[in-house]
Amino acid sequence: MSPVRKKHALWLLAAILLVAGIGWFFSGTGNIPLVSLNPTNFEAFSVAFNGDAHDTRAVLLLSPT
């Protein structure tokens, strides 16, 4: 196997493991389901986010562009 193909294979393996790990993390029981943030539910999000100030919090923002 050439060095370039080997490098691409390692990157592909890393990407597959990353996607599988993210899927495993979000599929566990007790996790809060993912929701879309919009102007109608932003206040509820803000209250829930600020209410858990003692816990670790994360927000994932995805853009289609």
**pLDDT above 90 coverage of the chain, percent:** 8
pLDDT reported for residue 40: 92
Could you tell me the pTM of the whole model?
0.40
- Tally of domains within the chain: 1
5-29 pLDDT per residue, tens: 888 888 999 998 888 877 777 666 6
Domain of 17 in residue numbering reads as 3-51
Could you tell me the two tokens for 25?
A: 């993390």
Please say whether the beta carbons of 24 and 17 come within 8 A. no
Residue 24 lies in a domain: yes
Residue 60 lies in a domain: no
Task: Give the helix ranges, DSSP H, for the chain.
Answer: 3-27, 42-51
Residue 61 lies in a domain: no
Q: Could you tell me the pLDDT band of residue 31, with boundaries at 50, 70 and 90?
A: low
Q: Could you tell me the pLDDT band of residue 30, with boundaries at 50, 70 and 90?
A: low
